[in-house]
Amino acid sequence: MSNEIRVVLTGGLSGGHTFPLIAVARAIRARAGAPADFLYIGSRGQFEENAMTAEGIPVRYVLSGKMRRYFSLQNFVDPFKVPIGFLQSLWHLFRYMPDAVFAKGGSVSIPVCLAAWVFRIPIVIHDSDAVAGRANKLLARFASRIAIAYPSAQEFFPARKTALTGNPVRAEILSGDPATADARFGFASDRPVVLVLGGSLGAQSLNKAVVRMLPQLLREAQVLHQTGNANYQETVALAGEMGVKAGYEGYIPVPFLGPADLALALARADLVISRAGAGSIAEIAACGKPAILVPLPTAANDEQRKNAYDVAHGGGALVLEEANLGEHIFFSKTDELLKNPELRSTMGRNIRSFYNPDAADMIAEGVLSLTR
């Protein structure tokens, strides 16, 4: 290939969508055999703007309607955003005219992919979860190729154009070093570390449950707690009410862990407590860490619960429903795992089966094959 390859990326609004887009873009650059140029078209959000800009990928924003399962006045407004977003997408695609579109799902991918279909631009979609998302199920008929992360998602898509690839994970997530993590976060090297991940946007109900058991948990382990930017101050205040001061006694709350810090945190963690988003599970699995997964009960299509129980069925995690996050049961399950290194080791080995190191390359090859 001698000519520049142009690819539009779309999907959002979370790290679970954005970071795999970046992993695939990097794989396309590495495999293209020619200069590869990218444009992100999507909704305005912190991950899209910050992550894409850091990657050197320009960003264009379009309106999109969110598919809510609950009552909201926005449900009456959002249907009018979709046709506007479609027209905006037509304009951006006309000006850029890519060779292919790679979509990660989410409502914003709908106007972008429909506009691409009008221009007969090939589309590759990727579904991260055990249950296919509504946007991807809608877009499947317009896609040239479909990549899935869980075998159970196969039933939602045409077999002739669907491939099981797994979830792409950024390479730097695997580069952490436990000793460097101790220095970075101020951990004692002879005490276990529990890493709490509420997802890229945070999870306040999970934050509160973790804070409630801190007085007991800190007797057993050190805790690195990603709270989410919006929930950091409230979580620190709640910890203070429990008699735990941030940065002391082994409790380290942080608003958000960037790629380098997340790599260190995962390398050092003896146990991970996390929401069950597909991106988080893929990163935990890549590092082979035992996990307690707490599915988000309001996740679309109940996808997080299905993700979590698929991993638990494979012996890689323990699942706790949000309704069962009482202080005593939550601590007893956490304490049980901390005191059983053999079980943690077995779970760490089992969860690795949910990581495919070739996922980004497989998807990149699928995109590139449509540009040749």
How do residues 169-189 score in pLDDT, each as one tens digit?
999 999 999 999 999 999 999
Instruction: Let me know whether 177 and 268 are in one domain.
Output: yes
Burial of 338 (0-12, 13-18, 19+ CB in 10 A): middle
In contact, 254 and 184? CB cutoff 8 Å: no
Instruction: Let me know whether 178 and 261 are in one domain.
Output: yes
* Alpha-carbon distance values, 331 to 212, 247, 317 (Å): 9, 21, 16
Q: What is the pLDDT of residue 187?
A: 97
Q: Which H or E run contains 273?
A: strand 271-274
Instruction: Let me know whether 270 and 257 are in one domain.
Output: yes
Residue whose token pair is 């005593």: 328
Domain count for the chain: 2
**Hey, how many other C-beta atoms are within 10 angstroms of the C-beta on 82?**
17
Instruction: Let me know whether 189 and 84 are in one domain.
Output: no
Q: What is the pLDDT of residue 1?
A: 41
Instruction: Let me know whether 52 and 89 are in one domain.
Output: yes
- We report the CATH number of the domain holding residue 16 as 3.40.50.2000
* Alpha-carbon distance values, 236 to 34, 233, 320, 365 (Å): 49, 5, 24, 45
Q: What is the pLDDT of residue 302?
A: 86
Instruction: Let me know whether 16 and 115 are in one domain.
Output: yes
Instruction: Let me know whether 124 and 217 are in one domain.
Output: no
Burial of 339 (0-12, 13-18, 19+ CB in 10 A): exposed
Global pTM reads 0.91
Give the Cα separation of 317 and 129 in Å (integer). 16
Give the Cα separation of 293 and 322 in Å (integer). 10
Instruction: Let me know whether 149 and 18 are in one domain.
Output: yes
Instruction: Let me know whether 211 and 251 are in one domain.
Output: yes
Instruction: Let me know whether 143 and 284 are in one domain.
Output: no
Give the Cα separation of 372 and 370 in Å (integer). 6
Instruction: Let me know whether 125 and 222 are in one domain.
Output: no
Residues of the chain with confidence (pLDDT) below 70 = 1-2, 13-16, 46-47, 65-79, 199-202
Instruction: Let me know whether 124 and 212 are in one domain.
Output: no
**Domain interval for residue 164:** 5-168+357-369
Give the Cα separation of 296 and 302 in Å (integer). 8
CA-based nearest residue to 10, from 165, 136, 151, 95: 136
